[in-house]
Amino acid sequence: MHSHYDDDMEDQDIMPALNFEEHVDNGIFEQILEMDDDDKREFSKSLVTNFFDQAEETFVKIEEVLNNNKVDDAKRLETLSSLGHFLKGSSATLGFNKIRDSCQIIQQYGHKLNVDGSAEPNEQVCLDKIKGALETARNDKDELAYKMFNKIDGFFKPHDE
């Protein structure tokens, strides 16, 4: 007799142990992995690689806006909110929780809102909070990239050509 429990157990055997701690929503990331056609995980690996590239490009843009004192603060905050929103969506799609949360902070303070949704009228406070969230997001991205790609025990193992 074959049960749904057996199916679940078989699926668990196929799925590698995900050990990303609070960095990743394993349920979402497993859905991405299920789209892979082979053991090399080329599809999911390319999604993750493209995300990390996109994240770094967005971080550079955020940094440029933060350092551009020629544009008034209100306009800078609007741009920063948009950049935070953009990267928040990409990170949420892959289940990258910590990066998503930092991007949410960037988006909120770009709208002159504290994390709890209350107003933060001081634009310099908002810019400072965004700077801190950017640093956190970058550190989290670097840590997650290491967990994903380091040659010794990274999730995506290098394959012999």
61 located within any domain: yes
Q: Is 119 helix (H, G, I), strand (E, B) or coil?
A: strand
60 located within any domain: yes
30 located within any domain: no
4 located within any domain: no
Average pLDDT of the residues in 150-159 = 79
* 160 pLDDT above the threshold of 60: no
User: CA–CA distance from 52 to each of 57, 78, 110, 153 (Å)?
Assistant: 9, 24, 22, 19
Q: What is the pLDDT of residues 60-103, one digit of tens each?
A: 999 999 999 999 999 999 999 999 999 999 999 999 999 999 99
Q: Global pTM?
A: 0.85
19 located within any domain: no
Please name the amino acid found at residue 10.
E
49 located within any domain: yes
Q: How many domains does the chain have?
A: 1
**62 touches 78 (CB < 8 A):** no
Torsion of CA 102, 105, 109, 115, to 10 degrees: -150
What CATH number corresponds to the domain at position 95? 1.20.120.160
21 located within any domain: no
pLDDT of 12 reads 43
Q: What is the pLDDT of residues 8-59, one digit of tens each?
A: 444 444 445 567 888 999 999 999 999 998 888 999 999 999 999 999 999 9
Q: Which domain holds residue 83?
A: 42-149
pLDDT of 145 reads 95
69 located within any domain: yes
